[in-house]
Amino acid sequence: MALSSDCVATTHEATGFRILRRCGTASGEATQPRRLLRDAMRAVGSFLGLTPYDFVTDAERARAASVARLLERAERMGANGVIGLRFQTVDEPGATRLMAVGEAVVLDREPR
């Protein structure tokens, strides 16, 4: 069964769950290439006060891809959840790399 983004927490605890086992650090990475013409048009649009729609879309696409890879790796480690999710970005020549990092854990729902 594939992990879903519902089992991911940015905090170091998952509310309503007990941590049964810590599997280690998992990460997922996505690279978004820069497109010079689109970047130039985006800069002109920002100067004119237009909303940079493509920029938000590119960032969201990279975030979703990095989280999907993180969840795949966490599942291969035997985890059913990820806690402490954080993002790191690195600007490289011609591209931006986004990395999602978190701790893969086995969670059990706490009794009510």
pLDDT band at 1 (very low <50, low <70, confident <90, very high): very low
Phi, psi of 31 (to 5 degrees): -115, 130
pLDDT score recorded for residue 84: 96
> Using one digit for the tens of pLDDT, what is the confidence trace for 52-67?
555 556 778 888 999 9
Q: Between residues 47 and 9, which one has the greater pLDDT?
A: 9
Query: What domains are defined for the chain?
Result: 5-109 (3.30.110.70)
Report whether pLDDT(24) > 80: yes
What is the SS3 assignment for 106? strand
CA 81 to chain centre: 14
Looking up tokens 């986004």 gives: 98
CA 108 to chain centre: 23
**Angle 34-89-6 (CA atoms, 0-180°, nearest 5)?**
110
> Using one digit for the tens of pLDDT, what is the confidence trace for 71-94?
999 999 999 999 999 999 887 787
